[in-house]
Structure 1
Amino acid sequence: MEIRQTTSNRALEVVAHRGVAERAPENTLPAFLQALAVGADAIELDVRLTRDRVPVVHHYYYLDEVIALSGPIYDYTLDQLRAARLRISGDSTEPASADGWRIPTLTDVLDTVGGQIGLEIEIKGPEPEAPGIVAEVLAKYRQLWDGIEVTSYEPMLLRDIQQRCPGLATDLLMPRSPDWMREDVLAYEAIHRGQLAGARAVHLQARQLSSAVISSIRSHGLDIHAWDVNDEQALGHMLDLSIKRVCTDNARQMVNAVRRMLSPTGGRQSPCDAG
């Protein structure tokens, strides 16, 4: 089975943050299919639990942002979410199921795009049982694990996933750091938390990255992925720093830019070929 589709050059992979929300809401199956269509290497998505303990794909703690329901998502069953109406520009104008515009389950996503594109699955809180329930779902899709990584800001959550799903990639998310934080402190924090998590890689905001920070983190055996890479200037900087995976809100633009920058006439040398 082919695990993922990639951009034209694997020197830098593009991750579509919550899919491509050009014609459909983020974190929905249409947004994920659009990410596949534009040539993204992977999709970043968020998982939360419903009241009946079903892992669903949704970013926000409260539902008010996108659905005509109030309160946290874990106050509602999956059937209640499916029956709710989707908010469009603040109005409840479309059924939540119209054209796939509904909150999908993690199983829906794995069945629809798993094996065709990489998946970065962030487990959201606060339910302590979430890692175990998500692991039960992922265990049924072991053939897709080469294209899946689980991410979290919580080191112990990732340790839990590693125990339940040995061999599944886990990456630690690092929050935005204050502008005044010294580079050596930032690197130390990323290394300490990454090692505590047993992570394969740490994900940092692009503006946090410098040659010194990257060198320090990599010297401790951790890879680095960048997020918040939303324009070509930031993308070019990541290429210069030999970052190999970026997460973006503008997947179509970034995929095209990677192809252009790394083409024979694009004016940039692949970091993998530099030397």
Structure 2
Amino acid sequence: MRGVLAVAHRGDPYRARENTVASFLSAVATGADMVELDVRLTRDGVPVVLHDATLERLWGHDRPVAELTADEVRARTAGGVPTLSEVLAVTAPVRTLIDLPMRAAEPARAAVAAVREAGAADRVSYCGDPAALKAVRAADAAAEIGLTWKRTGPPRAALLDGLRPAWLTYRFGLLDRALVARAHDRGLRVMAWTVDSPRAMRRLLAMGVDAITSNRVSELRRVIGSFSAP
């Protein structure tokens, strides 16, 4: 089932610290089809790759990224928090999924600008909050969008018409065969996140999902390769 995409959640965090260049390089080497990352905006408007609003959990500094310049972030993390531009350079062999979980439009516009500057628009997708994705669509009419949807009921038709997503991305526990089938009937592919159990991976493959996001991309690659549809 090579057609099902193995998506590396924040890189390869069981082998290297999440959302770092080392983590993304490991994910690419391990066989990921796509790497997922999170974008935050620094005080001086530089998109950097970090999930949390502050540096505390990963880097031991209780400072919001939004209050620091890109140079200050680099100094406090010894260069560990990369810019989006730096990551796009190392993920060039595969696709990159940029997660924009906040409603703000500014990080979305900055991410699109960085992708365009890197010449990477044809290998980047976006997911996240609908408000942020609207900013992506306004900035790039051709962007591939995955609407992150957190309920089993379908998205509003007006939202789908405005965003024109290629994907619906769901927390894996929300999915069942009927929901996947309904999405496919609408011409939408389905991505499940974030799945680390081989048993859950196989259950999702049996449902017919099109992509699975995991912290254990090497295990996911193995399960996809050995799966036989019932």
What amino acid is the match of 1:212?
A: A
Aligned pairs, how many?
230
Between the aligned partners of 1:69 and 1:126, the Cα distance in structure 2 is 25
Structure 1 gap ranges (5+): 1-8, 86-95, 178-185, 262-267
Contact 1:20 1:34 (C-alpha < 8 Å) held by counterparts: yes
Give the conservation status (yes or no) of the 8 Å contact 1:194–1:222: no
What does the per-residue CA deviation read over 1:178-235, in whole Å, with 9 as the maximum and x for residues that have no partner?
A: xxxxxxxx23247675445321111012221112212222222322111122122111
Question: Is contact 1:191–1:222 with CA below 8 Å preserved after alignment?
Answer: no
The one-letter code matched in structure 1 to 2:171 is Q
Dislocated runs of 4+, deviation >6 Å:
none
Aligned to 1:20: 12
The equivalent residue for 2:148 is 173
1:80-102 deviations in Å (ceiling 9; x for gaps):
111114xxxxxxxxxx23xxxx0
Q: In the alignment, what sits opposite 1:89?
A: none
Structure number, greater radius of gyration = 1
In structure 2, what is the Cα distance between the partners aligned to 1:15 and 1:168?
18
Q: Is the 8 A contact 1:206 1:229 kept in 2?
A: yes
- Give yes or no for contact 1:187–1:217 (8 Å, CA) kept in 2: no
Q: Is the 8 A contact 1:48 1:124 kept in 2?
A: no
TM-score with structure 2 length normalisation?
A: 0.91
Distance 2:99 2:141 in 1: 17
Q: Aligned equivalents of 1:106 and 1:60: distance in 2?
A: 15
- Tell me the distance in 1 between the aligned counterparts of 2:73 and 2:27: 24
Is 25-34 or 57-66 further displaced after alignment? 57-66
Partner of 1:107: 85
> For the Cα contact (< 8 Å) 1:16–1:44, is it kept in 2?
yes
The question of whether the paired residues in 2 share the 8 Å contact of 1:158 and 1:198 is answered with no
Alignment partner of 1:129: what SS?
helix
Aligned-pair CA distance for 1:41: 0.7
RMSD: 2.0
| The 10-residue stretch of structure 1 (166-175 or 195-204) with the greater mean CA deviation from structure 2 | 195-204
Residue equivalent to 2:123: 147
How far did 1:75 drift?
Answer: 0.5
- 1:187 maps to 2:153: yes
Per the alignment, residue 175 of structure 2 pairs with: 209
Specify the SS of the correspondent of 2:63: coil
**Which stretch of the first structure deviates more once superposed, 194-203 or 41-50?**
194-203
- Between the aligned partners of 1:32 and 1:188, the Cα distance in structure 2 is 33
What residue identity is the alignment partner of 1:27?
Answer: N
Preserved CA contact (<8 Å) 1:14 1:41: yes
How many Å apart are 1:125 and its aligned residue? 3.0
Q: Distance in 1 between matches of 2:198 and 2:159?
A: 30
Residue 209 (structure 2) aligned to one of 233, 239, 243: 243
- Tell me, yes or no, if the aligned pair for 2:36 and 2:99 is still in contact at 8 Å: yes
Query: What residue ranges of structure 2 are gaps of 5+ in the alignment?
Result: none
- Is the Cα–Cα contact under 8 Å of residues 2 and 225 in structure 2 kept in the other structure? no
Q: Distance in 2 between matches of 1:123 and 1:173?
A: 10
Partner of 1:158 in structure 2?
133
Equivalent-residue separation in structure 2 for 1:30 and 1:233 (angstroms): 28
2:222 maps to 1:230 = no
